[in-house]
Amino acid sequence: MSPMASPVNIPNMLTILRILLTPVFIILLLRHLYWQALAVFAVAGLSDALDGFIARYFNQRTALGAYLDPMADKLLLASAYISLAVLAVIPAWVSVIVIARDVIITLGIAILTVTQKTYEVRPTIVSKCTTAAQIILVLVALFDPARILLTALHPPLVWATAILTTVSGLHYIYIGMNILQEPGNP
């Protein structure tokens, strides 16, 4: 990460766009405009991929972007899960699992920071699979909110997302506990 890079750059602007698209996405969902919400979700996803590519390829990584990018992702996904649960498009219990995992990870990072433990935030393989499953479930739910076209796909996808999210959360707890128990770490 370049410490001299200006925080006002294209990747950070794309991240801010993603944050600004989140309320638009929620409003569309609340109006039951699922196809339009799907389009906004897709644009947000493309902006995420594009900002990451530009930041790496053109060496425009910043400290601000390192914080904003994952927050923007979590904001969009949490909004999707809460809204889709409220609208009964996906089971509420899945949303609780998804949100609880994110809260646990955030609390873990806060605990490590307060205890001045050194750690490196890197997504694990199970975490990447979890994120993929969560995104696919949102896409399928937006594409087929009444569960008419993809009827057979919904239950296995819901369960796969719930199981992966739970395993990922437990894995991060395990990692955090190991970091807390390391000797010689402040």
Q: Which residue has the tokens 């425009």?
A: 60
Residue closest to 175 by CA, chosen among 86, 112, 130, 100: 112
- Whether the Cβ atoms of residue 99 and residue 84 lie closer than 8 Å to each other: no
Amino acid at 59: N
The half-sphere exposure of 93 on its side-chain side, counting CA atoms within 13 A, is 6
Q: 147: alpha, beta or left, given left = phi > 0 and alpha = psi -120 to 50? A: left
Question: What pLDDT is attached to residue 5?
Answer: 61
More confident residue, 118 or 19: 19
Is residue 185 scored above 90 in pLDDT? no
- pLDDT of 72-103, one tens digit each? 999 999 999 999 999 999 999 999 999 999 99
Domain boundaries, the chain: 1-75, 88-186
Mean pLDDT score of the chain, rounded to an integer? 91
Residue closest to 24 by CA, chosen among 13, 12, 39, 14: 39
The half-sphere exposure of 29 on its side-chain side, counting CA atoms within 13 A, is 29
- 1 — pLDDT class (breaks 50, 70, 90): very low
Structure tokens at 164: 């992966």
- pLDDT of 130-175, one tens digit each? 999 999 999 999 999 998 888 899 999 999 999 999 999 999 999 9
Q: Which residue has the tokens 């809260």?
A: 103
Is residue 178 scored above 80 in pLDDT? yes
Question: What pLDDT is attached to residue 184?
Answer: 64
